[in-house]
């Protein structure tokens, strides 16, 4: 007799469960997807003890017929797929027919379901994959699945579960994000009898974001609108008409302004055809969209929905269905990158000053405590430590970045302002032409607003740290350090790309000692350092000698810069691309070499700075993502003086 045996179903199911069911949140993901596939409009989830003691999901979907309710627990039993052909045009979230048998094999599961086509419902109970009972029962239409004692029969798995709080956080994040993908449905989440989330149907994604995160998060987000793009299949079989060669892609959602920075990718939510996924290609496209607007190792917040023809995306890549493969991946990559980049650029992440106190957050939703936590977690801004000496953040005026910046003032200078209410109607004052340069009738256009930088005229300095400037569209305040940092960064990058970084030779080499870790990092980035202008050589064990440095850097700063580069490399750039390493090196040089705040600048220097800033490719944020300029628009000024 041979040695190979076919595994009994019970064992096969437990093996499959290893892939599908990792933790309580993965159970919820599968059950939630089933409820959505069943056409439910209201889904309610209960959990106890982080989901390990109990998980229950109640939906008002199509329910299951009696025979189906039993069949559903057979391996590969699905109503969503009947042939291999269907596999290439999947429009449901599930299709593998694995979830229910897998979950039932590692828990005590009860299914209660009633399809309106039958007069009564069905209750099925399965413990560790064994059918305990199957009865008729009087039940409401829809389905309730209760999962108790997850992994009771797989102690090895149970050991890997984290604290209740952590498991709950995973569940909450999952439910929250599915709720964002379906603004038209009701979602409810309760834990140990406390309500954590309850959202009722709304018409738009924007309203759902508001329900889930509260109002002020919206102010830090850019609505990218709807980017529809057609892709024409390159090599269609002969005779196929154009409309059949066309594939339509639609991208919509929200991304954060560059100054919102996260340490990891956990705040990037990508949905492809309604399915929450983690996809390297799309993550890369996101990162490429923020290229040079954020430091390497920082990530944005994003909530993106990509919809396309089912044939364009293979969802059958991984059992948990969290990965996809695009048929025309590089086209999708560039399309997503350009759509996001375009939206970021158009929204002009120039910060403006609030006129009044920031708007109060809208009335909190019932699960305020939870949403507050989610919100904090979602938008905790990581602001790099200020390297400016002398001025502590607390000393600086506290600018709030709450105003949506998009619509720039459209204001006609030859138009008389409406009378101030208390003024007699006959008194019509012309608006003072404060900038002094524009002829009557010039309309300030919002689209090419970055051109406005070219016309900035320095008026003076505030606290020897900020340049005040008059522009065509109002008053500008520019952080001199951050602006100079951006100018130098782009300059170093340009010189670096052209292969001619200006260098200074050192009379005496600077010898520095490295730790073992730094030594490893140094070996990895030595080439990049050389190309960026640092000439260095190993000098004995764990010691290097630097004989030349970039011209922009003060000799006294060289050692510090080098350590800083090595430290960032160690912390953030593990597995980073060469390009990220390069940007890190350039950003560090720029930051060190840039003038500090608390430094007097004469008129000429200020003019030079503004002119150079106007030439920058990305004059809105420093390489660390901090805003460079705040703008007090003419419209706001006029409003402030009650002239409009
Ligand atoms: P899949 O979702 O891949 O088809 P599952 O094991 O998750 O496989 O579910 C098996 C079948 O059970 C589904 O195809 C569907 O017909 C039925 N089903 C599961 N959950 C529900 C539900 N909440 N409402 C109605 N039918 C359901
Ligand atoms: Mg399923």
Which pLDDT value is given to residue 440?
28
Question: Mutate which of 34, 71, 91, 274 to test ligand 1's pocket (most atoms within 8 Å of Cβ)?
Answer: 34
Which pLDDT value is given to residue 593?
86
Ligand 1 atom showing the smallest separation from residue 77 Cα: 10
Cα dihedral across residues 634, 639, 641, 644: positive or negative: positive
Which pLDDT value is given to residue 188?
95
Which residue's alpha carbon is at the smallest distance from atom 12 of ligand 1? 72
Which residue's alpha carbon is at the smallest distance from atom 8 of ligand 1? 97
Where are the chain's structural domains?
9-161, 205-235+242-377, 507-593
Ligand 1 atom showing the smallest separation from residue 102 Cα: 6
Which pLDDT value is given to residue 62?
96
Of the ranges 140-149, 313-322, 371-380, which is most confident?
A: 140-149
Q: Each residue of 335-364: pLDDT tens digit?
A: 999 999 999 888 765 554 443 333 333 223
Among 16-30, 140-154, 373-387, 542-556, whose mean pLDDT is lowest? Answer: 373-387
Question: How many C-beta atoms lie closer than 10 Å to residue 238's C-beta?
Answer: 5
Q: Each residue of 471-482: pLDDT tens digit?
A: 888 899 999 999
Distance 36 CA to ligand 2 centre (A): 10
Residues of the chain with pLDDT > 90, as a percent, come to 32
Among 75-79, 111-115, 232-236, 350-354, whose mean pLDDT is lowest? Answer: 350-354
Looking at residue 443, the DSSP 8-state letter turns out to be B
Which pLDDT value is given to residue 214?
72
Residue by residue, DSSP assigns 147-195 as: EESTTTT-HHHHHT---HHHHHHHHHHHHHHHHHH-TTSEEEEEETTEE
Residues in a beta bridge with 271: 276, 305
Query: Which CATH code is given to the segment(s) 507-593?
Result: 3.30.1370.100
Q: Each residue of 126-182: pLDDT tens digit?
A: 999 899 999 999 999 999 999 999 999 988 788 888 888 888 888 988 898 899 999
Which pLDDT value is given to residue 177?
84
Distance 113 CA to ligand 2 centre (A): 15
- At residue 108 the predicted structure's pLDDT band, cuts being 50, 70 and 90, is very high
Distance 104 CA to ligand 2 centre (A): 13
Looking at residue 80, the DSSP 8-state letter turns out to be S
Which pLDDT value is given to residue 570?
58
Rounded average pLDDT over 315-332: 81
Q: Which CATH fold topology does 9-161 show?
A: Heat Shock Protein 90 (3.30.565)
Rounded average pLDDT over 64-71: 91
Rounded average pLDDT over 496-501: 85
Cα dihedral across residues 554, 590, 633, 375: positive or negative: negative
- At residue 526 the predicted structure's pLDDT band, cuts being 50, 70 and 90, is confident
pLDDT above 80 (res 615): yes
Distance 236 CA to ligand 2 centre (A): 34
- At residue 401 the predicted structure's pLDDT band, cuts being 50, 70 and 90, is very low
Query: Which CATH code is given to the segment(s) 205-235+242-377?
Result: 3.30.230.10
Query: Residue length, the chain?
Result: 644
Start-end of H helices in 233-328: 242-245, 280-289
- At residue 443 the predicted structure's pLDDT band, cuts being 50, 70 and 90, is very low
Which pLDDT value is given to residue 83?
64
Of the ranges 15-19, 339-343, 451-455, 593-597, which is most confident?
A: 339-343
**Which residues make up the environment of ion ligand 2, defined by Cβ < 5 Å?**
34, 94, 99
Rounded average pLDDT over 49-60: 96
Distance 315 CA to ligand 2 centre (A): 13
Among 221-235, 330-344, 397-411, whose mean pLDDT is lowest? Answer: 397-411
- At residue 644 the predicted structure's pLDDT band, cuts being 50, 70 and 90, is confident
Give the separation between CA 107 and CA 567, rounded to whole angstroms: 47
The pair of structure tokens assigned to 205 is: 């994604």
Among 257-261, 418-422, 614-618, whose mean pLDDT is lowest? Answer: 418-422
Strands 54-59 and 42-48 turn out to be antiparallel
Ligand 1: residues with CB < 6 A are 30, 34-35, 38, 59, 61-64, 68, 72, 77-80, 94-100, 143
- At residue 17 the predicted structure's pLDDT band, cuts being 50, 70 and 90, is low
Question: Mutate which of 37, 42, 56, 101 to test ligand 1's pocket (most atoms within 8 Å of Cβ)?
Answer: 37
Over the chain, what is the mean pLDDT?
A: 77
Which pLDDT value is given to residue 396?
25
Which pLDDT value is given to residue 609?
93
Nearest CA-CA partner of 51 in 195, 178, 150: 150
The pair of structure tokens assigned to 475 is: 């008053």
Distance 140 CA to ligand 1 centre (A): 18
Question: How many C-beta atoms lie closer than 10 Å to residue 574's C-beta?
Answer: 9
The pair of structure tokens assigned to 526 is: 């030595």
Whole-model pTM: value is 0.58
Cα dihedral across residues 517, 518, 520, 524: positive or negative: positive
pLDDT above 70 (res 116): yes
pLDDT above 60 (res 511): yes
């Amino acid at each position: 007799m041979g040695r190979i045996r076919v595994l009994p179903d019970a064992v096969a199911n437990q093996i499959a469960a290893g892939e599908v069911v990792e933790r309580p949140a993965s159970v919820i993901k599968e059950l939630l997807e089933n409820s959505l596939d069943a056409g439910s409009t209201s889904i309610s989830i209960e959990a106890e003890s982080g989901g390990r003691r109990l998980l229950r999901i109640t939906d008002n979907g199509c329910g299951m017929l009696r025979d189906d309710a039993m069949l559903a627990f057979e391996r590969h039993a699905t109503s969503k797929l009947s042939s291999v052909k269907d596999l290439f045009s999947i429009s449901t979230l599930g299709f593998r027919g694995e979830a229910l048998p897998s979950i039932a094999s590692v828990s005590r599961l009860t299914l209660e379901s009633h399809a309106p086509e039958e007069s009564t419902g069905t209750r099925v109970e399965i413990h560790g994959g064994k059918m305990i009972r199957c009865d008729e029962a009087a039940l409401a239409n829809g389905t309730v699945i209760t999962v108790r004692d997850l992994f009771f029969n797989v102690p090895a798995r149970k050991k890997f579960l984290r604290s209740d709080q952590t498991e709950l956080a995973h569940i909450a994040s999952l439910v929250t994000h599915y709720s964002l993908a379906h603004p038209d449905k009701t979602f409810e989440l309760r834990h140990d009898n406390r309500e954590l989330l309850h959202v009722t149907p709304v018409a738009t994604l924007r309203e759902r974001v508001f329900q889930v995160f509260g109002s002020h998060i919206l102010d830090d987000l850019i609505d990218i609108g709807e980017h529809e793009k057609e892709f024409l299949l390159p090599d269609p079989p002969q005779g196929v008409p154009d409309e059949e060669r066309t594939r339509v892609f639609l991208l919509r959602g929200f991304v954060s302004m560059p100054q919102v920075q996260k340490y990891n990718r956990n705040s990037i939510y990508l949905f492809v055809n309604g399915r929450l996924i983690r996809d390297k290609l799309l993550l890369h496209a996101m990162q490429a969209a923020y290229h040079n607007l954020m430091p390497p190792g920082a990530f944005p917040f994003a909530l993106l929905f990509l919809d396309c023809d089912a044939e364009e995306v293979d969802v059958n890549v991984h059992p948990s269905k969290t990965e996809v493969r695009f048929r025309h991946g590089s086209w999708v990559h560039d399309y997503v990158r350009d759509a996001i980049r375009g939206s970021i650029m158009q929204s002009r992440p120039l910060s403006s000053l609030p006129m009044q106190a920031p708007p109060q957050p809208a009335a909190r939703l019932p699960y305020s405590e939870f949403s507050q936590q989610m919100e904090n977690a979602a938008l905790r801004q990581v602001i790099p430590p200020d390297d400016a000496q002398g001025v502590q953040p607390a000393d600086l005026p506290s600018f709030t970045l709450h105003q949506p910046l998009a619509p720039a003032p459209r204001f006609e200078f030859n138009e008389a302002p409406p009378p101030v209410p208390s003024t007699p109607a006959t008194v019509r004052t012309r608006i003072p032409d404060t900038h002094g340069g524009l002829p009557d009738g010039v309309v300030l256009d919002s689209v090419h607003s970055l051109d406005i930088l070219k016309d900035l005229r320095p008026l003076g300095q505030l606290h020897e740290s900020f340049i005040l400037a008059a522009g065509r569209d109002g008053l500008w305040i520019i952080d001199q350090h951050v602006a100079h940092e951006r100018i130098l960064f782009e300059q170093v990058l340009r010189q670096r790309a052209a292969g001619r970084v200006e260098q200074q030779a050192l009379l005496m080499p600077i010898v520095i000692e490295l730790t073992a870790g730094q030594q490893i990092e140094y070996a990895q980035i030595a080439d990049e350092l050389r190309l960026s202008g640092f000439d260095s050589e190993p000098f004995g064990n764990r010691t290097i000698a630097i004989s030349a440095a970039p011209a922009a850097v003060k000799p006294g700063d060289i050692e510090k810069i080098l350590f800083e580069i090595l430290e960032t490399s160690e912390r953030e750039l593990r597995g980073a691309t060469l390009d990220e390493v390069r940007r890190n090196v350039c950003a560090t040089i720029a930051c060190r070499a840039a003038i500090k705040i608390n430094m007097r600048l004469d008129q000429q220097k200020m003019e030079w700075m503004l002119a150079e800033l106007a030439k920058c490719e990305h004059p809105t944020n420093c390489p660390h993502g901090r805003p460079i300029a705040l703008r007090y628009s003419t419209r706001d000024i006029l409003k402030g003086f009650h002239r409009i």
